[in-house]
Structure 1
Amino acid sequence: MLEIPKMTFVEYFKAPLEKVWKTFVNPNGWDPWFTDGMKVELKNGGQIYFRWKRLTNGEIVEDKGITILIIDKKLWEFWWYEYEDGFRSQVKMVFQPDGENGTWLRVEDRLIIKNQDELQIAYGCAYGWGQMLLLAKIYIEKGEILL
């Protein structure tokens, strides 16, 4: 296995914690602003089903995941990016109110790759997290869907 540094992404939302939390952690996942048919069992050990169509030019892309830990309005930690040898990405989403009706979200992604040939997995995840956070920010703060 090749050890690569944990990727961390931080975004500030001009919205209360409750709204930000419900946008990210709900039974329909990141629909309608990022995914297309995502499903989440909201419990520790719960199954996650990811599905994209709009972001992939009409091609249906699916993946699975599993929740490791949910702490209401604080933390959602899960595995995803399934390969033939198991999940490759452990994600921790940490939610923190700022005391002024805004919310910070920190996304940490620990990837498992076997060798340098798999670095595209890390690049793809980094790109995806940035895109997801930007689309979420516009959706939460402006109520707009850009897909």
Structure 2
Amino acid sequence: MPFINHKTYIKVPLEVVYKTISTSHGWNAWFTDDTSLEISPDGTGEIRLRWKNFGCENVNIEDRGKILEATPNKKFVFQWSPGEQNTTVTFTLEPYKDGTLVVLDETGYTYSEKDVKACISCAVGWGEALTLLKIYLEHGIVYKQDL
């Protein structure tokens, strides 16, 4: 099965990275538009990701999914459907040097044409997203494209 794996080092504490990837405000600050999420006390919940006028094609994208695990300062896991079926995105946070190693894995793609296209697109997208997260957290810079 195709899968995605990215890693990046961000020079901020685990707590700061976790708060950014586990809250609506955090997602909307660095990557999405009007994303919402709710986490229950048991660490599960719902997420709705939204992008408005995204990319050079100015598309509106919305996807919903379940939050499978939200372990403070360690892991944030959710499902969404960028292809034919649900995939699982896992952010794992590890202390590293003076900051945090962020490991992103996405699994659940099949070899169908639609899933392979989605996997390739998301592999590129998650790499760019982690770069945006790093720039936002380390330097306070937000890049949102206005075309």
TM-score (norm 1): 0.86
In the other structure, the counterpart of 1:94 is 92
Query: Which structure 1 residue ranges, 5 or more long, are not aligned?
Result: none
Query: Which structure 2 residue ranges, 5 or more long, are not aligned?
Result: none
**Per-residue deviation at 1:54?**
4.4
What one-letter code is carried by the residue in structure 2 that aligns with 1:10? K
Q: 1:123 to 1:82 in 2, by over 3 A?
A: closer
**Per-residue deviation at 1:101?**
3.1
In the other structure, the counterpart of 2:20 is 23
Q: Percent identity?
A: 30
**1:40–1:47 contact (8 Å) kept in structure 2:** yes
Q: Deviations over 1:63-121 (max 9, x none)?
A: 011111111110111111266x642x1111101112x4310110011032252453101
1:104 has 2:106 as partner: no
Consecutive aligned runs of 4 or more in structure 1 exceeding 6 Å deviation:
none
After superposition, the CA RMSD in angstroms is 1.9
Q: Distance in 2 between the 1:108 and 1:86 partners?
A: 16
Q: Distance in 1 between the 2:9 and 2:135 partners?
A: 11
What one-letter code is carried by the residue in structure 2 that aligns with 1:68? L
Q: Distance in 2 between the 1:29 and 1:81 partners?
A: 21
Which of residues 98, 117, 120 is equivalent to 2:117? 120
Q: 1:120 to 1:97 in 2, by over 3 A?
A: same
Q: Deviations over 1:9-37 (max 9, x none)?
A: 00100111111111111133511221000
